[in-house]
Amino acid sequence: PVFPAGAIPGPEQTDRWIRADRARLIHPNLPDSRTDRTVMVEGRGCHVRDSSGKRYLDAAAVLGMVQVGHGRDEIVAAAAAQMARLECFHLWENMSNDQAIELAVRLTDLAPPGLERAFFTSGGAEGNEIALRMARYFHHRRGRPERTWILSRTSAYHGIGYGSGSVSGLPVYHEGFGPPMPHVHHLTAPDPYHREAYGGEDVTGFCLRELRETIERIGPDRIAAMIGEPVMSVGGAVAPPTDYWPRVAELLRSQGILLIFDEVVTAYGRTGHWFAAEHVAVTPDILVTAKGITSGYIPHGAVLTTEELAATVTGSTGFPIGFTYTGHPTACAVALTNLAIIERENLLDNAMKTGGYLADRLAPLRDLPAVGDIRQAGLMLGIELVADKATRTPLPTGTAPVAQALREDKGIILRGNPRSLLINPPLVMDRGTADELADGLFSVLARVEPDGRIRRS
């Protein structure tokens, strides 16, 4: 049943949903033994409500994507108007549609100079699949079909398609799923907080040496591309040292190896820029986006490329692959309205200012025994939790119990990887909401024991 916004479905309806959820749904990453569910029913701005009426601060912007906040009527109206006019059409062969064209123009106008063409997808993994295939196909079309190797990094997350899952750097995405995509090599990711992982060497120096040795070992003329997030998101909101990407890009370019930036999380204002490529001062050959392109109101994504790359992979016979939903006009209309809101409301500026304010508010948390490191780029923040500050050992329980306590005790939703809490709030967040978040974090993190247990308040 549809209930008016603000109404609460009630306990009977909630029970029915929870029973049906357990019986009929498959969730990612949820063991059978866990029987509780939180059923979300509405949202406004930075807050959402569940079916019991409990209000939460959505400090994750769902999955790092609701840039303009929840419940924007303007986006609802744009989607409805486009659906009423032409709900969908495709871009295969010479078919096109006005919304896809307008969005391609808008995105390539916003993108760093040199990225001049757009290919549309329905999400991040799809975008990385396209980027990997484009890179290999580019070399194939240039008469270098042996350039098939892809370099990636440990602890990277690029989605769970066959290619995107293979280049993701965490074993959990590989074990039990049969052979991954061949010709993938994972390099060490740069993480300035974990100096111990680089054997006393400078972090960039270590990574560059490893990259150079890897290129020599595989052979430069067998490598298609390197893929990486300019600032790692799921990996812990980890920005590399400032000289890392410029030096990596220079080395790759000298060897004819393409650079792919996965900006699925970082694009559209997350780090205070339209694209984090600007944050790290490097323009890649291929830039993959999704999530914030529509603020998550509808699935969509865009892969931006140079003219040279686009011209080579299309060529006289065309780029032979695409998706059913490539260039979906309703998704493109939503994206255009979303980008207009980001611009009109100066949300890049707000990400910088509120991100800086939040970082200042969180700075005293560094004195807590459980807090090892706090990282911030715009409104992308990570808090690394430790059992021991001196050795930087992670909590034995991971961060999940802390995230759960934040949710239950403080009504704050955020996600964590095993080491770090990840904070990616909507870019409309104001100082009052940042205070609510900082106070909640302080209250819970002050009670974390070295064994990962949380003392009662």
What is the contact surface with ligand PLP in residues (CB under 6 A)? 63, 123-125, 128, 157-159, 229, 233-234, 262, 264-265, 290
Question: CB-wise, 267 or 437, nearer to ligand PLP?
Answer: 267
CB of 265 to ligand PLP, least distance (A): 4
CB of 127 to ligand PLP, least distance (A): 7
Question: CB-wise, 42 or 262, nearer to ligand PLP?
Answer: 262
CB of 234 to ligand PLP, least distance (A): 5
Q: State the DSSP string of 264-302.
A: TTTTTTTTSSSSHHHHHT---SEEEE-GGGTTTSS--EE
- CA 185 to chain centroid, in Å, comes to 21
230, 279 in Cβ contact below 8 A? yes
d(CA 240, CA 190): 5
Residue nearest to ligand PLP (CB): 124
Residues 6+ apart with CB under 8 A from 28: none
Residues 6+ apart with CB under 8 A from 357: 431, 434
Q: DSSP code of 399?
A: S
d(CA 372, CA 431): 25
CB of 64 to ligand PLP, least distance (A): 7
Question: CB-wise, 163 or 440, nearer to ligand PLP?
Answer: 163
Backbone Cα Rg of the chain: 22
Question: CB-wise, 161 or 329, nearer to ligand PLP?
Answer: 161
- CA 75 to chain centroid, in Å, comes to 21
From the number of C-beta atoms within 10 Å of its C-beta (0-12, 13-18, 19+), residue 24 rates as exposed
Question: CB-wise, 122 or 204, nearer to ligand PLP?
Answer: 122
279, 273 in Cβ contact below 8 A? yes
Question: CB-wise, 4 or 28, nearer to ligand PLP?
Answer: 28
C-alpha torsion 62→68→73→77, nearest 10:
-100
Angle between helices 347-362 and 329-344 (to 10 degrees): 70
CB of 152 to ligand PLP, least distance (A): 11
H or E element in which residue 150 lies: strand 149-153
CB of 287 to ligand PLP, least distance (A): 12
Question: CB-wise, 69 or 292, nearer to ligand PLP?
Answer: 292
CB of 351 to ligand PLP, least distance (A): 17
Question: CB-wise, 267 or 429, nearer to ligand PLP?
Answer: 267
Q: DSSP code of 451?
A: T
CB of 157 to ligand PLP, least distance (A): 5
Question: CB-wise, 43 or 64, nearer to ligand PLP?
Answer: 64
- Tell me how far apart the terminal alpha carbons of the chain are, to the nearest angstrom: 39
CB of 337 to ligand PLP, least distance (A): 20
Q: State the DSSP string of 191-258.
A: -TT-GGGGTTS-HHHHHHHHHHHHHHHH-GGGEEEEEE-SSBSTTTSBPPPTTHHHHHHHHHHHTT-E
Question: CB-wise, 124 or 440, nearer to ligand PLP?
Answer: 124
CB of 300 to ligand PLP, least distance (A): 10
